Amino acid sequence: MKRTVIALATAALALGLAPATQAQSSVDHRQEGTVWMPRLTEITRHEVLPGNQVRVHYWTGDPACYGAHAVLVETPWAVHVRVITGPRLGGADVCTMIALEKSQVLQLSAPLGDRPLHV
């Protein structure tokens, strides 16, 4: 069934039909399910928060169908963050083509300080 959804979405894009999108306000999320066909997703913005935390914002699909998780790598010289998204294993059989802005709060082991944040 998931292959059918992907095939239909691909066909719609090939015909020049834009998927219906609905912008929703950003809400903090934790990791959302295991994904197959993972891909790097653009981080659209980030915020440095108190308490050694960083919030990253990104766009993804319906959480019933798409999963996301952030990968954080810290060194004494820099902090690197990547967001991985993809179709969820065991996700819904029928998915809406909706775009959702989501965010995740990541806990750093030390204050960001002068270290550059690479997103």
Region 27-34: mean pLDDT is: 61
Residue 32's pLDDT band, with cuts at 50, 70 and 90, is low
Which pair of tokens denotes residue 15?
């015909």
How many Å apart are CA 69 and CA 67, to the nearest integer? 7
How many Å apart are CA 13 and CA 108, to the nearest integer? 39
How many Å apart are CA 88 and CA 34, to the nearest integer? 6
Q: Tell me what percent of the residues of the chain surpass a pLDDT of 70.
A: 72
**Among 66, 98, 64, CA closest to 84:** 66
For residue range 63-103, what is the model confidence (pLDDT) as tens digits?
A: 889 999 899 999 999 999 999 999 988 888 888 889 999 99
In which order are the strands placed within the sheet that holds 43-49?
27-28, 100-107, 53-60, 43-49
8 A C-beta contact, residue 66 and residue 86: yes
pLDDT at 59 over 90: yes
Question: Any idea where the domains of the chain sit in the sequence?
Answer: 20-118
**Among 1, 103, 18, CA closest to 53:** 103
